Structure 1
Amino acid sequence: MRFTTLLKNPADWMQGRGPHSDIVMTSRIRLARNLRGWSFPGWSSERQRVDLMNEVRPVVAGLPEMKDGFNEEYPNLTKTKKQVLVERHLVSREHAARSTGCAILIDRRQSLAIMVNEEDHFRMQGIRAGLDLRTAYELVNRVDSELENFLPYAYDSRLGYLTACPTNVGTGMRASAMLHLPALVLTEQIKQVMNAVSKIGLAVRGLYGEGTEALGNLFQVSNQHTLGETESELISRIEGVAEHIVQAENNAREKLLHESPTMLRDQVGRAYATLRFAHILNSKEALTQLSLLRLGADLDLVTECDRGLLDALLLEIQPAHLQLAAQRELSPEERDTRRAEITRQLLKSVPEPLNVSLDSAENAPPPESDDE
């Protein structure tokens, strides 16, 4: 599969609808694996990384799941193309920054991605729509078992799978859920919720993982350690926390509808107006306003709005996607102009937000005075 073909085919997780998919954008399982007898990528020479890549790439490409998939080594990919893969959450930022001795293999549905020579020899990722960690795990676990039949993994009977970073030793698994939490942000409850998540040993990260900002009100929740718990236990823990966060977000949405309807309509209306008529949009503003418009669609304040269109737009307006479409490097000002142009065009079919009265305390008659 060519890179252009990969981009033309929307990923399964972008089109699918899983449990709680109005709030949980994606579920992801990532496995870290290394081969016995080889130095970790960070400690190996360029020649060693190239030798390992050449040995394992045909094995990975030969998996049934990778039939007609995308298979390329990094020296053949431009910086923009690698960044597009980052924006699609198919490779890590750290892996995209590398070149010689690194490769990426992706299945046709973009549900499975295998990075060669990231921090570990393999980073295998399964991604699904909604809160569906177990299906994502089944996919990546099947591939992991197939590879283990052909390749000697670095494994210790007491510690488990050996990894470059000590926090990954054990199962080598990270389970994460990407959550869209605009109501918790608007009601100023997000800090309290995320602090509670951190206190029980889970990590909260931004849109592109560790060290990144929660743009577009998107937050990743994942386990921090992999030693001492089974894969099933880790998944159950993330699922349980995600369910509680989903409930908190739903409660916050109800609170906004019934206690602050005018503010809610104002936020959604301003987002719609900005996206439909602005001629300059930077990334942060665009993602914030798309988040609010998506909230309006979820709450039926914006009718006949395809949420899939908004989710696809989240990708198309990213810097590397814009530059790839333009077939040249764009200045920040050019990207902001082009981003606004694409957004205006794609949202033409979305009707204005409803301007109707909502049942709320705001619309109720004033309470009787106690004064006599």
Structure 2
Amino acid sequence: MSLQRFVEHPWTHWMKGEGPDSDIVISTRLRIARNLRHHPFPLLATDSQAEEVVRKVEEVNQSASMKKKGQFELLRMEELQPLEKKVLVEKHLISPNLAEESRKGAVILSEDEAISVLINEEDHLRIQVFLPGFQLKEAWDIGSKIDDVFEKQLNYAFDEKRGYLTSCPTNVGTGIRSSIMLHLPALVMTQQINRILQATTQVGLVVRGLYGEGSEAVGNLFQLSNQVTLGMSEGDIITNLYSVASQIIVQEREAREYLREHNQISLEDRIYRSYGILTHARTIESKEAAQRLSDVRLGIDLGYFPTCNPFVVNELLVSTQPGFLQYDAGQKLTVDQRDERRARVIRERLISPSEIS
């Protein structure tokens, strides 16, 4: 494997458009935060202390136990160009914090990009698992097995009363955050989304945008995740999120059916209008592209474009981001140049006869 393998292509494992309830759930993510005992948290560590953590983690990555889990490669942030790091952020393989602020950060990536281990971000280790569709339990199974490999070879910071110790108090306890990326256009169109999102906060969950904390919910994409990690078991966290997400999935399906029964012409006009704009526009900015792609994705899921795979739209979510557009162009682009290139990428991908008739 090489760096180019991870940054040249927009495709990644979670975009497959497969898995349970994949018409609504784009992907499932599990994150496990861990720190090493007797090592300062990354925010307080010197460069030499942070480098020592990378060395210890790399030793585990090279161990026989890890090799049994698949093929992994370690990339150091200091060796990557800004655009390369931006592409990894846009593919959800690393966090913006690791890309922008970590002095001695690194990431371990699996060959299929379903697993990434962030090193020296907010915590020493953040093990992430990304799967397509609604696969919370499967993600936890994979993540916990990777965690076991590291825990057997590293001395984790753990307290009998508080659980796993983390840099941010909100992660103390189990150290796990699980999230579901939901596509909820019908709930937005029927103006039910605010009521539903407000209700989630009452059961210990939080809703964020496509790129997590601090990001805006564009393209009707929402990340639903647990907010509490202390005082609950891993199983309780997974079960609670699974239950709430399942209810939202049912409500989104009911809202889609309502729109088809009571607003079919308006719904079809919106879907086909967005498809027409995307296949003919010569320039388009990112927010409009995300919204139009959301409409087309809804059309695919409702059967209006039977020959189109939802994978195409999932891929365009990444390939039309600023970092990837510039990396693919081989140069920095102005906003106008990015808007023009974004429109061309979308046109070429959508008008292929093999994808949409």
TM-score (norm 1): 0.92
In the alignment, the residues of structure 2 paired with residue 169 and residue 220 of structure 1 have an alpha-carbon distance, to the nearest angstrom, of 21
How do 1:32-51 and structure 2 match up within 5 A? 32-51=33-52
Q: Closer, same or farther in 2 for the Cα pair 1:298/1:11, shift >3 Å?
A: same
Contact 1:124 1:140 (C-alpha < 8 Å) held by counterparts: yes
Structure 1 position 163 matched with structure 2 position 172? no
Contact 1:61 1:67 (C-alpha < 8 Å) held by counterparts: no
Measured against aligned partners, the alpha-carbon deviations of 1:168-222 in whole angstroms (never above 9, x if no partner) come to: 1110000110000011111111111111111222110001001111111100001
Contact 1:23 1:179 (C-alpha < 8 Å) held by counterparts: yes
**Higher alpha-carbon deviation: 14-23 or 171-180:** 14-23
Q: Closer, same or farther in 2 for the Cα pair 1:214/1:156, shift >3 Å?
A: same
In the alignment, the residues of structure 1 paired with residue 355 and residue 187 of structure 2 have an alpha-carbon distance, to the nearest angstrom, of 24
Name structure 1 gaps, 5 residues minimum: 355-372
Q: Which residue of 1 aligns with 2:222?
A: 219
**Higher alpha-carbon deviation: 46-55 or 125-134:** 46-55
**Higher alpha-carbon deviation: 293-302 or 12-21:** 12-21
Contact 1:66 1:107 (C-alpha < 8 Å) held by counterparts: no
**Higher alpha-carbon deviation: 301-310 or 239-248:** 301-310
Contact 1:305 1:350 (C-alpha < 8 Å) held by counterparts: no
Name structure 2 gaps, 5 residues minimum: none
Measured against aligned partners, the alpha-carbon deviations of 1:233-264 in whole angstroms (never above 9, x if no partner) come to: 10011000110000010011001000011110
How do 1:288-367 and structure 2 match up within 5 A? 288-349=291-352
1:255 to 231, 254, 258: 258
In the alignment, the residues of structure 2 paired with residue 145 and residue 31 of structure 1 have an alpha-carbon distance, to the nearest angstrom, of 11
Q: Which ranges of 4 or more aligned residues in structure 1 deviate by more than 6 Å? A: 351-354
Look at both structures and tell me which one has the larger radius of gyration over its CA atoms. 1
How do 1:57-206 and structure 2 match up within 5 A? 57-62=58-63, 63-64=66-67, 67-206=70-209
Paired residues, what number?
354
How far does residue 350 in structure 1 lie from its aligned partner after superposition?
A: 5.8
Q: Closer, same or farther in 2 for the Cα pair 1:268/1:180, shift >3 Å?
A: same
Structure 1 SS opposite 2:154: coil
Q: Closer, same or farther in 2 for the Cα pair 1:345/1:91, shift >3 Å?
A: same
Counting aligned pairs with the same residue, the percent is 41
In the alignment, the residues of structure 2 paired with residue 353 and residue 184 of structure 1 have an alpha-carbon distance, to the nearest angstrom, of 26
In the alignment, the residues of structure 1 paired with residue 197 and residue 152 of structure 2 have an alpha-carbon distance, to the nearest angstrom, of 40
In the alignment, the residues of structure 1 paired with residue 92 and residue 356 of structure 2 have an alpha-carbon distance, to the nearest angstrom, of 31
Q: CA RMSD in A?
A: 1.7
Contact 1:297 1:305 (C-alpha < 8 Å) held by counterparts: yes
Q: Closer, same or farther in 2 for the Cα pair 1:330/1:353, shift >3 Å?
A: closer
Aligned residue identity for 1:286? A
Contact 2:325 2:338 (C-alpha < 8 Å) held by counterparts: yes
Q: Which residue of 1 aligns with 2:27?
A: 26
How far does residue 303 in structure 1 lie from its aligned partner after superposition?
A: 2.8
Contact 2:209 2:218 (C-alpha < 8 Å) held by counterparts: yes
In the alignment, the residues of structure 2 paired with residue 334 and residue 69 of structure 1 have an alpha-carbon distance, to the nearest angstrom, of 36
How far does residue 99 in structure 1 lie from its aligned partner after superposition?
A: 4.3
Contact 2:307 2:356 (C-alpha < 8 Å) held by counterparts: no
Measured against aligned partners, the alpha-carbon deviations of 1:307-334 in whole angstroms (never above 9, x if no partner) come to: 1111111111111111110111111111
Q: Closer, same or farther in 2 for the Cα pair 1:221/1:65, shift >3 Å?
A: farther
Structure 1 position 229 matched with structure 2 position 232? yes
Structure 1 position 2 matched with structure 2 position 2? yes
Q: Closer, same or farther in 2 for the Cα pair 1:99/1:233, shift >3 Å?
A: closer
In the alignment, the residues of structure 2 paired with residue 192 and residue 8 of structure 1 have an alpha-carbon distance, to the nearest angstrom, of 38
Q: Closer, same or farther in 2 for the Cα pair 1:78/1:65, shift >3 Å?
A: farther
**Higher alpha-carbon deviation: 98-107 or 136-145:** 98-107
In the alignment, the residues of structure 2 paired with residue 64 and residue 242 of structure 1 have an alpha-carbon distance, to the nearest angstrom, of 34
Structure 2 SS opposite 1:42: coil
Larger RCO: 1 or 2 (CA < 8 Å, sep 6+) = 2
**Higher alpha-carbon deviation: 304-313 or 180-189:** 304-313
Contact 2:102 2:120 (C-alpha < 8 Å) held by counterparts: no
Q: Closer, same or farther in 2 for the Cα pair 1:99/1:200, shift >3 Å?
A: closer
